[in-house]
Chains A and B, each alone.
Chain A
Amino acid sequence: MSTQTNAMPDAPLESQALAPAAIPATRHVYWALKREFWENRGIYLAPLAVACVFLFGFLITGAHHLPQKMRAASALNPMQLHEQIEEPYDIAGGALMGTFLIIAVFYCIEALQRERRDRSILFWKSLPVSDVTTVLSKASIPFVVLPLLTCVVTLVTQFLMLLVSCAVLAGSGLSAATYWSQVSLIQMSLLLLYHVMTVHVLWSAPIYGWLLLVSAWARRAAFLWAVLPPVAIVALEKLLFNTSHFAAFLGHFLSGAGTEAITAPHTMPMDPLTQLTPLKFLSTPGLWIGLAVTAAFLAAAIRLRRYREPA
């Protein structure tokens, strides 16, 4: 554009010599995750809040009635005793898992839309971080961060419940040892981790992938766009062909997870670890089809983040 050059001939060389080494990808991922924690504090605050509320409730009701319950329990057979003692621990795990699911869904739906809505994507894209790093870091929140966080928070919560219970029992002159022996924390945690990773992460992966994709695509009302297509397909199919294959497929998909991973999910045997069927789960074609679909959804989300006009 101009024939005249003011730049000194050695200038580019000089600036190249000063150029520091590239920042490794792991550091980009670290900062991308940190950014997600700053922006979405609910990721860790919500499980902590639920845990605190539960602990508080347990402290004033559960622990209060515990000595009576333990005295009455001597009439029960070991199986019933075990079930009764573990009940509040299962409820705690369930509540935290429910929290995990809610946060994961709401996180995904917002993850790639908000930065476009508030135009901050123009700032993020002015930094040397690729779309692949950004989208995969966001995807790792429901796939890795939240499940692990849920398991850790649950384990700590259950441990505190156990301590409180033992203290209460010891205080009222009952044997804490019997109680202690009935609560197998490690086993419960392993079960929970297995359940979360199989049912709520691997099997449900297409759901998160789909939500992230819609989040990258929709200009507004991402939640509506996420729910509308499946509902529309079900309705159209019913209307045009008077069949409901898609609805059946969705129903099977949404409910079918547990049956492959755990043989009898609704009864709690003495050693539930024997009920796990990881090989059966891993050899289900549906799982792998789902994971492939998830990968396609994420690839599309990356592409959308790259192509979407900033305005």
Chain B
Amino acid sequence: MACIDARGLRKAFGATIALDGIDLRVEEGRILGLIGPNGAGKTTALNAILGLTPYQGELRVLGRDPWIERDRLMRDVCFIADVAVLPRWIKVSQALDYVAGVHPRFDRAKAEGFLAKTAIRRESKVRELSKGMVTQLHLALVMAIDARLLVLDEPTLGLDILFRKQFYDSLLNDYFDRNRTIVVATHQVDEIEHVLTDLMFIDRGHIVFSRSMEEFESRYVEVMVNPEKVLAARALKPMHERQVFGRTVLLFDSADRQQLAALGDVRTPSISDLFVAVMGNQGQGGAAR
């Protein structure tokens, strides 16, 4: 059974189409990065998966319909939607008490263990904590829940780089195992690059790119060529071209690496470079239509 299985998932807000019939399948044990510009439909897709919004089309999360069975599904699914959504009046100890009270799979000792590594005091109220600490607290609560799917929607937006790094390191080291699935939506692509097993770009309600990281690494090649070899390189039909310090960087999909090596320095592109290339081509395609 796939962890998430969507067919023809569609959602419109009035005349605005947020999701235009997307198909999506996430197997268990994967870490999927969902990447797209603002208003691309990331949050809408995640809200549908979490049972926060009604939708059209078919959607199964861990075999359940999230809109009908949100409360049941939340025993197996956890999410952090946005930064700092913990209620500001709650005390850290109350948050622990409450989650322990209502969640059958919450391991309080584990949460206390995570908190012990931070500067968060049990008697503090959330409003007295810094934004980074609120995120740490939320992560400690979530990581102490033995869930099968964790959904993160911009969980580190606006935090400084130390917190962001720490956030993803804890997730990988202390939480992730082969039974769990994680879906992350974020702008900060490069930080999660080493974490992901799968990659998906979403734009204007469509999935425009979907590959596993193995495929991504084997298929896409970036070559930095000197001016005299640019024409020869262009003949090989790059999907994108940009200038860096007077040299041209060309991005190829499924090209012959040896052939490219003769033209310049070959390397695997970063996700953000590929993202720009894919979105750039989308934009041209859109303009041509």
Q: Which chain A residues have a beta carbon within 8 Å of chain B's beta carbons?
A: 1-2, 4-8, 11-12, 14-15, 18-23, 27-28, 30-31, 34-35, 38-39, 115, 118-131, 133, 307, 309-311
Contacts and interface: CB of A to CB of B under 8 A. Distances in A.
Nearest to A310: B52
B102 A2 contact: no
B178 A1 contact: no
Contacts of B9: none
Interface stretch (B86-94, B254-262, B272-280): B86-94
B98 A35 contact: yes
Contacts of B87: 39, 115, 118, 120, 123-124
Interface string B1-35: 10000000000010000000000111111101000
B28 A2 contact: no
B29 A22 contact: no
B69 to A, nearest CB: 10
Given A126-B74, A126-B79, A19 B89 contact: no
B43 A311 contact: yes
Contacts of B214: 4
Interface residues of B, number: 55
B75 A128 contact: yes
B81 A22 contact: no
Nearest to A22: B104
A291 to B, nearest CB: 27
Residue with the highest number of chain A CB atoms closer than 10 Å, among B50, B101, B198: B101
Given A1-B200, A20-B104, A122-B82, A128 B71 contact: yes
Contacts of B253: none
Contact of B27 (A7, A14, A311): A7
Interface in B45-80: 47, 50, 52-54, 70-75, 78-80
A131 B73 CA distance: 13
A6 B13 CA distance: 37
Contacts, number: 137
Nearest to B87: A120
A11 B32 CA distance: 19
B212 interface: yes
Nearest to A27: B101
B171 interface: no
Given A2-B197, A127-B74, A38 B89 contact: yes
A18 B52 CA distance: 27
B251 to A, nearest CB: 23
A128 B72 contact: yes
A192 B78 CA distance: 47
A1 B75 contact: no
Contact of A6 (B30, B89, B91): B30
Contacts of B30: 1-2, 6
B247 interface: no
Contacts of B28: 5, 7, 11-12
26 contacts: A1-B24, A1-B32, A1-B198, A2-B30, A2-B198, A7-B178, A7-B179, A8-B178, A22-B75, A22-B104, A28-B102, A34-B97, A118-B87, A119-B85, A120-B87, A120-B88, A121-B85, A123-B86, A126-B74, A126-B142, A130-B70, A130-B71, A307-B54, A309-B47, A309-B53, A310-B81
A213 B212 CA distance: 47
Given A1-B24, A6-B29, A120 B85 contact: yes
Given A1-B210, A14-B179, A119-B85, A23 B104 contact: yes
A128 B178 contact: no
A309 B50 CA distance: 12
Given A1-B25, A7-B28, A128-B74, A19 B104 contact: yes
Contact of A4 (B94, B105, B212): B212
B26 A122 contact: no
B146 interface: yes
A309 B44 CA distance: 9
Contacts of B110: none
Nearest to A11: B179
B165 interface: no
Given A12-B1, A31-B101, 10 more contacts: A1-B26, A4-B212, A6-B27, A6-B197, A34-B97, A122-B52, A125-B52, A127-B102, A128-B71, A309-B52
Contacts of A6: 27, 29-30, 178, 197
B148 interface: yes
Contacts of A14: 179
B11 to A, nearest CB: 10
Contacts of B98: 31, 34-35
